[in-house]
Amino acid sequence: MGVVGIRRGTPALRPTVGLYFQSHRLYNRIMTKRLVLPALLAALAVLASCGGGSSSGGTVPADTDVTITAVDGIAWSAKDYTATSTDGKVKIAGENASSLPHNLHVIDADGVENPTFIDLPTKGTIEAKEFSLTPGTYTVLCKIPGHGNMKATLTVS
Ligand SMILES: [Cu+2]
Protein backbone atom coordinates (compact mmCIF):
# COMPACT_ATOMS: atom_id res chain seq x y z
CA MET A 1 0.00 0.00 0.00
CA GLY A 2 0.95 3.57 -0.55
CA VAL A 3 2.27 4.45 2.89
CA VAL A 4 5.22 2.09 2.43
CA GLY A 5 6.96 4.72 0.32
CA ILE A 6 7.06 7.24 3.15
CA ARG A 7 9.72 6.50 5.71
CA ARG A 8 11.15 8.72 8.39
CA GLY A 9 14.43 10.35 7.55
CA THR A 10 14.57 9.27 3.92
CA PRO A 11 16.84 11.96 2.42
CA ALA A 12 15.29 11.68 -1.01
CA LEU A 13 11.93 12.74 0.41
CA ARG A 14 11.40 16.43 -0.11
CA PRO A 15 8.17 18.22 0.67
CA THR A 16 6.31 18.98 -2.52
CA VAL A 17 2.78 20.02 -3.19
CA GLY A 18 2.30 16.68 -4.88
CA LEU A 19 3.49 14.79 -1.84
CA TYR A 20 1.22 16.84 0.36
CA PHE A 21 -1.87 16.04 -1.63
CA GLN A 22 -0.79 12.48 -2.12
CA SER A 23 -0.41 12.03 1.61
CA HIS A 24 -3.76 13.75 2.12
CA ARG A 25 -5.45 11.16 -0.08
CA LEU A 26 -3.48 8.47 1.69
CA TYR A 27 -4.63 9.86 5.01
CA ASN A 28 -8.27 9.57 4.02
CA ARG A 29 -7.77 6.07 2.70
CA ILE A 30 -5.84 4.96 5.73
CA MET A 31 -8.26 6.49 8.19
CA THR A 32 -11.15 4.65 6.59
CA LYS A 33 -9.23 1.45 7.27
CA ARG A 34 -8.63 2.69 10.82
CA LEU A 35 -4.90 2.19 10.56
CA VAL A 36 -4.11 5.15 12.78
CA LEU A 37 -0.45 4.42 13.54
CA PRO A 38 0.74 4.27 9.91
CA ALA A 39 -1.12 7.51 9.28
CA LEU A 40 0.69 9.16 12.17
CA LEU A 41 4.04 7.89 10.92
CA ALA A 42 3.31 9.25 7.46
CA ALA A 43 2.41 12.64 8.93
CA LEU A 44 5.62 12.64 10.96
CA ALA A 45 7.65 11.84 7.87
CA VAL A 46 6.13 14.81 6.04
CA LEU A 47 6.84 17.11 8.99
CA ALA A 48 10.39 15.80 9.42
CA SER A 49 11.22 16.48 5.80
CA CYS A 50 10.10 20.12 5.92
CA GLY A 51 12.58 22.95 5.52
CA GLY A 52 15.21 21.49 3.22
CA GLY A 53 18.76 22.37 4.17
CA SER A 54 17.87 22.85 7.79
CA SER A 55 17.60 20.67 10.79
CA SER A 56 15.60 21.02 13.94
CA GLY A 57 15.20 19.09 17.12
CA GLY A 58 16.58 18.99 20.60
CA THR A 59 20.27 19.51 19.93
CA VAL A 60 22.53 21.99 18.18
CA PRO A 61 24.22 20.37 15.15
CA ALA A 62 27.98 19.87 15.54
CA ASP A 63 28.83 21.95 12.47
CA THR A 64 27.02 25.05 13.77
CA ASP A 65 29.06 28.25 13.49
CA VAL A 66 27.11 30.27 16.03
CA THR A 67 24.20 29.57 18.38
CA ILE A 68 21.82 32.43 19.11
CA THR A 69 19.45 31.81 22.01
CA ALA A 70 16.24 33.61 22.90
CA VAL A 71 15.97 33.91 26.66
CA ASP A 72 13.29 35.09 29.08
CA GLY A 73 12.82 38.84 29.25
CA ILE A 74 12.35 39.18 25.45
CA ALA A 75 16.08 39.17 24.78
CA TRP A 76 18.84 37.29 23.03
CA SER A 77 21.42 35.58 25.22
CA ALA A 78 24.05 38.13 24.14
CA LYS A 79 24.30 41.51 22.46
CA ASP A 80 27.22 40.46 20.27
CA TYR A 81 27.88 37.24 18.41
CA THR A 82 30.73 36.24 16.11
CA ALA A 83 30.99 33.62 13.41
CA THR A 84 33.33 32.58 10.64
CA SER A 85 32.04 32.39 7.10
CA THR A 86 33.04 29.37 5.02
CA ASP A 87 32.51 29.69 1.27
CA GLY A 88 30.08 32.51 1.98
CA LYS A 89 27.98 30.43 4.37
CA VAL A 90 27.38 30.65 8.09
CA LYS A 91 25.41 27.97 9.89
CA ILE A 92 23.30 29.63 12.55
CA ALA A 93 21.48 27.63 15.19
CA GLY A 94 18.53 29.42 16.76
CA GLU A 95 17.37 28.22 20.13
CA ASN A 96 14.30 29.18 22.11
CA ALA A 97 14.96 28.98 25.84
CA SER A 98 12.11 31.31 26.72
CA SER A 99 8.40 30.84 27.18
CA LEU A 100 7.43 33.10 24.25
CA PRO A 101 7.52 32.49 20.47
CA HIS A 102 10.34 34.20 18.57
CA ASN A 103 11.94 34.32 15.16
CA LEU A 104 15.46 35.09 14.02
CA HIS A 105 16.11 37.38 11.08
CA VAL A 106 19.46 38.63 9.81
CA ILE A 107 19.80 42.14 8.35
CA ASP A 108 22.96 43.31 6.57
CA ALA A 109 24.72 46.66 7.03
CA ASP A 110 22.67 48.18 4.19
CA GLY A 111 19.41 47.17 5.87
CA VAL A 112 18.75 44.30 3.46
CA GLU A 113 17.09 41.33 5.10
CA ASN A 114 18.50 37.89 4.41
CA PRO A 115 15.82 35.67 2.81
CA THR A 116 16.73 32.87 5.22
CA PHE A 117 15.26 33.07 8.70
CA ILE A 118 14.53 30.79 11.64
CA ASP A 119 11.21 30.33 13.41
CA LEU A 120 11.34 29.56 17.11
CA PRO A 121 7.69 28.98 17.99
CA THR A 122 8.05 27.21 21.32
CA LYS A 123 10.37 26.71 24.25
CA GLY A 124 12.93 24.05 23.45
CA THR A 125 12.91 24.66 19.70
CA ILE A 126 16.36 24.41 18.14
CA GLU A 127 16.70 24.95 14.43
CA ALA A 128 19.90 25.38 12.42
CA LYS A 129 20.11 26.84 8.93
CA GLU A 130 22.85 27.88 6.57
CA PHE A 131 22.76 31.59 5.84
CA SER A 132 24.59 33.12 2.88
CA LEU A 133 26.72 35.67 4.73
CA THR A 134 30.02 37.18 3.65
CA PRO A 135 32.32 38.83 6.22
CA GLY A 136 30.76 41.93 7.68
CA THR A 137 28.52 43.21 10.44
CA TYR A 138 24.90 42.11 10.63
CA THR A 139 21.95 42.73 12.89
CA VAL A 140 20.04 39.77 14.30
CA LEU A 141 16.49 40.54 15.30
CA CYS A 142 13.13 39.08 16.20
CA LYS A 143 10.25 40.57 14.21
CA ILE A 144 7.43 39.70 16.56
CA PRO A 145 5.58 42.89 17.60
CA GLY A 146 6.82 44.13 20.96
CA HIS A 147 10.13 42.26 20.62
CA GLY A 148 12.13 45.28 19.46
CA ASN A 149 14.55 44.68 22.32
CA MET A 150 15.70 41.51 20.56
CA LYS A 151 18.47 43.09 18.54
CA ALA A 152 22.02 41.77 18.54
CA THR A 153 25.09 42.25 16.42
CA LEU A 154 26.57 39.36 14.45
CA THR A 155 30.10 39.96 13.26
CA VAL A 156 31.09 37.58 10.47
CA SER A 157 34.75 37.16 9.62
CU1 LIG B 1 10.97 37.55 19.94
The pLDDT tens digits for 115-153 are: 999 999 999 999 999 999 999 999 999 999 999 999 999
CA distances from 10 to 5, 45, 48, 96, 102 (A): 10, 8, 10, 27, 29
Q: How far is the CA of 129 from the centre of ligand 1 (A)?
A: 18
pTM passes above 0.75: no
- Do 111 and 62 lie in one domain? The reply is yes
| Domain final residue, candidates 33, 50, 67 | 50
Q: How far is the CA of 131 from the centre of ligand 1 (A)?
A: 19
Q: How far is the CA of 90 from the centre of ligand 1 (A)?
A: 21
Residues above pLDDT 90, as percent of the chain: 63
Number of domains in the chain: 2
Give CA–CA dist 124/111, Å, rounded: 30
- Do 32 and 60 lie in one domain? The reply is no
Q: Is there a contact between 131 and 115 (Cβ–Cβ < 8 Å)?
A: no
pLDDT digits (tens, 9 = 90+) for 95-114: 999 999 999 999 999 999 99
Range of the domain at 119: 55-156
- Do 61 and 107 lie in one domain? The reply is yes
DSSP helix/strand/coil, 9: coil
- Do 78 and 141 lie in one domain? The reply is yes
Q: What is the CATH number of the domain that holds 132?
A: 2.60.40.420
